[in-house]
């Protein structure tokens, strides 16, 4: 983790894989819907999950669609310590969440399920609808730093003048040479 302290008003976050534990719910649904019950997060060694989990692309898309449309109903949980640390940040500053999801409402609903209304008011969610192109949204929000779990996104951000931090996950291991964080405690250290 970088030793630099950064201004939290200049930091943005991805949602899935950073704030929300999307891998856990995806694997649970893969077991329930397709009987693939012997998989673990460590098995997700590629962001394109159909390349490593024994699912077809339509099966993977169906699971992701279920999660994207109803994050609360599918039981999507926050990453460990995300609620506490994001809550602390939102008490003092607005928080920008820029997601590749195409719909912001399920993300707002999810935040409302885990955070008090006062915190939710401080969280701005931007749903882009694509994995590529985050730099323009980040620049438009006046952010200089961003935390994302997709290595390719972080490389793209770095080339566009944004300082990325890769949120360590099995699918980004050994795929970048960028600074990273392993937990929300690391993120707290980064901004405190």
| Residue scoring higher pLDDT (96 or 46) | 96
Dump pLDDT digits (tens) for 166-180: 999 999 988 888 999
pLDDT at position 188 is: 95
With the C-alpha atoms ordered 173, 175, 177, 183, is the resulting torsion angle positive or negative?
A: negative
What pLDDT score was predicted for residue 1? 44
Radius of gyration of the chain (CA): 16
- The DSSP code for 10 is G
Looking at residue 131, its pLDDT comes to 85
**pLDDT tens for each residue of 57-74:** 999 999 999 999 999 999
Provide the residue ranges of all domains of the chain, joining segments of one domain with +: 8-20+78-191, 22-69
Average the pLDDT over 1-16 and give the result. 85
Question: How many residues are there in the chain?
Answer: 192
CATH class, range 8-20+78-191 = alpha beta
Please give the Cα distance from 156 to 45 (Å, whole number).
20
The DSSP secondary structure of 19-52, one letter per residue, reads: TB-HHHHHHHHHHHHH---S--GGG--SSSGGGT
Q: Tokens 């209304």 identify what position?
A: 117
Name the token pair of 192: 């405190």
Task: Report which of residues 32 and 176 the model is more confident about.
Answer: 32
Mean pLDDT across the stretch 93-112? 96
pTM: 0.94
Query: Which DSSP helix (H) or strand (E) runs through 127?
Result: strand 123-127
Residue 192 has pLDDT above 80, yes or no: no
């Amino acid at each position: 983790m970088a030793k630099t302290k950064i201004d939290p008003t200049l930091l943005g976050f991805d949602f899935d894989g950073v704030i929300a534990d999307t891998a856990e719910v995806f694997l649970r649904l893969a077991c329930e819907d397709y009987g693939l019950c012997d998989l673990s997060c460590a098995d997700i060694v590629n962001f394109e999950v159909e390349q490593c989990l024994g699912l077809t692309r339509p099966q993977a898309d169906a699971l992701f669609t279920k999660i994207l449309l109803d994050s609360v109903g599918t039981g999507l949980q926050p990453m460990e310590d995300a609620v506490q640390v994001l809550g602390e940040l939102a008490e003092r500053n607005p928080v920008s969440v820029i997601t590749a999801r195409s719909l912001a409402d399920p993300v707002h609903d999810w935040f409302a399920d885990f955070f008090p209304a006062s915190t939710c008011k401080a969280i701005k969610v931007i749903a882009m609808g694509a994995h590529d192109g985050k730099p323009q949204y980040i620049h438009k929000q006046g952010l200089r730093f961003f935390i994302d779990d997709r290595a390719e996104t972080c490389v793209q951000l770095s080339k566009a003048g944004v300082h990325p931090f890769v949120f360590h996950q099995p699918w980004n291991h050994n795929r970048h040479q960028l600074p990273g964080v392993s937990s929300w405690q690391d993120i707290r250290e980064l901004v405190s």
